[in-house]
């Protein structure tokens, strides 16, 4: 068990590995949030306040993790630039700019979910519809950013020499 914890600690100290570890959580959770935000316009009971608050807190926490993934990616950017040509550098800059918006989008979803706690039915339903629409848009945005990151790693070798082979078995 201590070997596992030591390996995790060492992995989190490397910015490239930390970025790779953290970035997958917002991808997965944003997709999982779709059905949970889809039901918001249809929940009308005050008992559902706990559901709304837990959902908002979860989405906000996902935004914090996305922000941390972005910070790790920014720290690893100089290492990634070593292997990139002009096209790769341009893609890296796009990935960086687009990735910076992910925590903001997740925070906006969390805010819309919080607005659904307002006891007025029209406000609650409207905010629920907006939260669902924003969730769908965010999932598409994150998919684009993830695609950019995947292309950086597998097409341009931004992971660094030997890291792709070590993690995937590809030669």
Per-residue pLDDT reduced to its tens digit, 128-150? 999 999 999 999 999 999 999 88
**In the structure, how many helices (H) and strands (E) does the chain have?**
6, 0
Q: Is 171 within a domain?
A: no
Q: Is the pLDDT of residue 15 over 50?
A: yes
Q: Is 2 within a domain?
A: no
Question: 102: number of CA atoms within 13 Å, CB side?
Answer: 32
Q: How far apart are CA 34 and CA 133, in angstroms?
A: 9
What is the model's pTM?
0.83
Q: Is the pLDDT of residue 109 over 50?
A: yes
Question: How many domains, the chain?
Answer: 1
Alpha-carbon distances of 113 from 12, 46, 96, 139, 148, rounded to whole Å? 32, 14, 27, 16, 29
Task: Provide the residue range defining the domain that includes 139.
Answer: 15-158
The mean predicted confidence, pLDDT, of the chain is 86
Q: How far apart are CA 109 and CA 32, in angstroms?
A: 14
Distance between terminal CA atoms of the chain? 31
pLDDT in tens, 16-65: 888 888 899 999 999 999 999 999 988 877 678 999 999 999 999 999 99
Q: Is 126 within a domain?
A: yes
Q: Is 165 within a domain?
A: no
Q: Is 167 within a domain?
A: no
* Burial annotation 29-58 (CB, 10 A radius, 16+ → b, else e): bbeebeebbeebbebeeeebeebbeebbeb
């Amino acid at each position: 068990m201590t070997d596992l914890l030591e390996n995790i600690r060492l992995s989190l100290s490397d910015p490239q590995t930390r970025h790779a570890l953290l970035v997958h959580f917002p991808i997965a959770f944003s997709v999982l949030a779709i059905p949970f935000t889809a039901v918001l316009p249809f929940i009308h009971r005050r008992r559902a306040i706990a559901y709304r608050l837990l959902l908002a807190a979860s989405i906000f926490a996902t935004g914090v993790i996305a922000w941390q993934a972005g910070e790790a990616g920014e720290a690893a950017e100089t290492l990634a630039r070593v292997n990139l040509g002009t096209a790769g550098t341009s893609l890296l800059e796009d990935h960086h700019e687009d990735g910076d918006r992910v925590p903001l989008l997740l925070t906006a979803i969390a805010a819309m979910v919080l607005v659904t706690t307002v006891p007025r039915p029209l406000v609650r339903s409207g905010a629920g519809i907006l939260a669902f629409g924003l969730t769908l848009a965010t999932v598409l945005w994150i998919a684009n950013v993830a695609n950019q990151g995947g292309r950086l790693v597998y097409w341009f070798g931004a992971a660094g020499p030997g890291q792709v082979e070590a993690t995937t078995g590809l030669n």
